Each structure stands twice: as structure tokens, then as C-alpha cells.
Amino acid sequence: MTLETEKSILSEFESFDKLELGTLVIDYPGRRSIFSNRHFESLAGENESLIVDNILFHLDTGKRVGACSDMKIDAHTVYGYTVYKLSETRYLVFLSDISYKNIYFENREENYFYDRLSRLIAEMAHEMGNPLSSVTTALQVLNDSMDTWSIEKKKEYLHRAIDEIERLSLYLAKMCDFSRGTDHIDIKTISLRDLTHRVIDHNEKKIDSKKIGVICDVGPGLRVEADEYVLFKVLSDLFYNSIDILPDSGDGEIRVTVEEANESFVKLVYRDNGPPIPPEVLEKMLMPFFASPKKGPGIDLAVSAKLMTRMGGKMEAESPLDGRGPRFILYVPVSPDS
């Protein structure tokens, strides 16, 4: 680079030097930086070449321009950056040191994990401890009264113990179902409307037998990136729960609607007008191995939440304002050709 060219570039980007933000200009075809302000040089230090290499890799791999990203230089140094296109050959980069923020968010995520793990262990201990305690009590009473009770009385207490053991076996089986989930996720482009109608048709007899009204508002052109079998299972589990809990009076209603669709996700909302669910139950509903003490949504919804995550989406549960529900929100990755 000639002295005249260097002076021209410095003059062109002189205003960037006053920014209290690390600023870098990259010549992409030349694969080098042509300007960096004082704040950038202070932030980067000896990592400048590594930062430039990371930005070039960002551009090489076609990552979206204008989105916030981060790069980890070593165990203690993390930079946040945003790339903007100035011209066909030049890119502007804003850089900041987010090392301390990164540590904070990592610790927050780790604390959140341990909080959920503690709640999970407590829930498992409760669900397994109750039947074990009942079995122990029944057998102790039976043992103490073996010589004086009639055959019918002895059978009654034996059946109590057997029922509690079966309850425990069912719970352990559900734990296995959750840990297993599905071995393979096969992501394809599918019509969300067609899949939703297939779920409704699959449950048609049960829906008709309880005179449940179904409202489906999913646009015909909406296509998502999902495992067809898995998404079918998730929606079917929601329908099973609703059909199970809604009354036979003909007042039951199920709604499946799209509330939002953007370039990343379709927000599919499922709800029924069943009885309200207490906040303390709703909070735990999507947790692994949680079993509601009442009839209604239970452990299978934790499997559904796990499957949605494995597909690159998300599942949430919330109480609607009218107190009926709850609302289950499925965030499904959208297809680019939707």
C-alpha cells in the first residue's frame, strides 16, 4: 500500500477513530484489514490477526451480515462483533470485549441447569418414594397381622402392595421413554397445515364421540423444517390430553392457530377450554418425569418438549388471560420456501 493510498483510507474513516467502540474495516478480496481505530487496537492487542481471521471466516461461510456474533479467542477472552457491508469489497466491523458478560451468562446457565436438576431429583424422589412407602406399610401391617386376619383381609393388603408396585413400574417406564425419546431426527420440508389436519383426522372418532369443536387456523402455504413423525407425535399427545380432560357435555373446544411466522420460526399455538391448571403445576409441566396428581397433562409432555428441542424448535406452556387452558406454544423452524 502506497503512502498516498494509506492517507486516503485514513481520511475516509477518520470519523470512526472517535468511536468508543472497536472499529475495523476489512478489504475482503485482499483478505486484510485496511483500517482500525484506536479503541479496536486497545481491545485486540496481540489478538488482532486472530480477530481478522475470524471475520474472514465469517464472510467465507456466508453468515448473515448485520447479526451479532461472538468469537472465543481463548478460555478467558471472548469478543462480540457485528459485520456490516460498506461496498462490494469492504466490510465494517464493530467489536467489543464481552468476556465478563460471557462468564456471567455461562454461570447463569449453569445455575439454571443445577436448579432444574435439583427440582428433577426432588420430583423423582417424591414420585418413587410414595409408592415405596405404601408398599412397606402394607407389608409391615400384613406381617404383624398374618396369624389373625382372614384370607380376604390378607389379599386386600397384598393387592394394595401390588397396585403401588405397578404404579412405580409405570413411572419407571415413563422415565425410560423420556431418556430414549427418538433415536433419529429426520428433518424435511413439510406442510404444517397438512400435518395438523392429519392429526385432527387421526383423532376424529374420539373428537366426535365427545362432541369437541376443533378450530384450525393454519395457512395453506406455511411450510416448516421438521421431522414429520415427531411433530405428528407432539401434536397428537396434546390432542390426547385434551380429549381425555374435556367434558362429554359438548362444550369442549380445541384451537390450533398460527400467531406469528417470521424468517426463523412459526409460532403454533395449541389450547383447549378445559379446566384451569394451577401455576405451580404449569411451571413443572414440561419438566422431565413430572407427573400431575390430577387427570390431565403429565409426563408425556416432557418428552414432547425434548423432541421439539431436538428438531431445533421449542415448546412452552403458559396460562391464558381467561384462565382456561393452558396454551402450548410450539416454535417450529420455518422453511425458506414458505
In whole angstroms, what is the distance from residue 165 CA to residue 99 CA? Answer: 52
Give the pLDDT score at 2.
47
Is 172 a member of any domain?
A: yes
81-139 pLDDT tens trace: 999 998 888 999 999 888 877 666 666 666 766 676 677 677 778 778 888 998 999 89
Is 267 a member of any domain?
A: yes
Evaluated on CA atoms 224, 226, 228, 230, the torsion sign reads: negative
Residue type for 46, please? E
Residue finishing a domain among 82, 97, 112: 97
CATH number at 11 reads: 3.30.450.20
Q: Mutual orientation of helices 99-144 and 151-180 as an angle, nearest 10°?
A: 160
Residue type for 99, please? S
Is residue 232 located within the same domain as residue 155? Answer: no
Give the pLDDT score at 98.
85
Is residue 233 located within the same domain as residue 265? Answer: yes
Is 338 a member of any domain?
A: no
Is residue 172 located within the same domain as residue 196? Answer: no
Alpha carbon of 188 to those of 166, 198, 228: distances in Å? 40, 17, 7
Is 10 a member of any domain?
A: yes
Is 44 a member of any domain?
A: yes
18: containing domain: 3-97
Alpha carbon of 308 to those of 49, 114, 206, 288: distances in Å? 40, 22, 25, 14
Is residue 124 located within the same domain as residue 162? Answer: yes
Is residue 87 located within the same domain as residue 111? Answer: no
Give the pLDDT score at 248.
83
pTM: 0.52
In whole angstroms, what is the distance from residue 17 CA to residue 35 CA? Answer: 10
Alpha carbons within 13 A on the beta-carbon side of 247: 6
Closest CA to 227 of 235, 238, 237: 235
Alpha carbon of 29 to those of 35, 59, 78, 124: distances in Å? 15, 11, 26, 58
- Chain centre to alpha carbon of residue 108: 17
Is residue 295 located within the same domain as residue 230? Answer: yes
Helices (H), the chain: 3-12, 38-44, 48-60, 99-144, 151-180, 192-202, 204-209, 228-245, 279-284, 300-310
Is residue 216 located within the same domain as residue 307? Answer: yes
Phi, psi of 272 (to 5 degrees): -125, 175
In whole angstroms, what is the distance from residue 240 CA to residue 329 CA? Answer: 16
Is residue 112 located within the same domain as residue 84? Answer: no
Residue finishing a domain among 180, 206, 227: 180
Give the pLDDT score at 5.
46
Is 111 a member of any domain?
A: yes
Spell out, as residue ranges, where the chain has pLDDT lower than 50: 1-7, 9, 293-299
Is 232 a member of any domain?
A: yes
Count of Cβ atoms closer than 10 Å to residue 249 Cβ: 8
Give the pLDDT score at 300.
64
Is residue 218 located within the same domain as residue 114? Answer: no
Residue finishing a domain among 97, 119, 140: 97
Domains identified in the chain, total number: 3
Evaluated on CA atoms 238, 244, 245, 249, the torsion sign reads: positive
Is residue 34 located within the same domain as residue 135? Answer: no
Count of Cβ atoms closer than 10 Å to residue 284 Cβ: 18
Is 151 a member of any domain?
A: yes
Count of Cβ atoms closer than 10 Å to residue 215 Cβ: 9
Is residue 272 located within the same domain as residue 302? Answer: yes
The contacts of residue 11 (CB under 8 Å, 6+ apart) are: none
In whole angstroms, what is the distance from residue 166 CA to residue 169 CA? Answer: 5
In whole angstroms, what is the distance from residue 129 CA to residue 69 CA? Answer: 47
In whole angstroms, what is the distance from residue 38 CA to residue 44 CA? Answer: 10
Question: Tell me, what DSSP letter sits at residue 334?
Answer: B
CATH number at 323 reads: 3.30.565.10
- Chain centre to alpha carbon of residue 277: 21
132 contacts 124 by C-beta, under 8 angstroms: no
Is residue 202 located within the same domain as residue 121? Answer: no
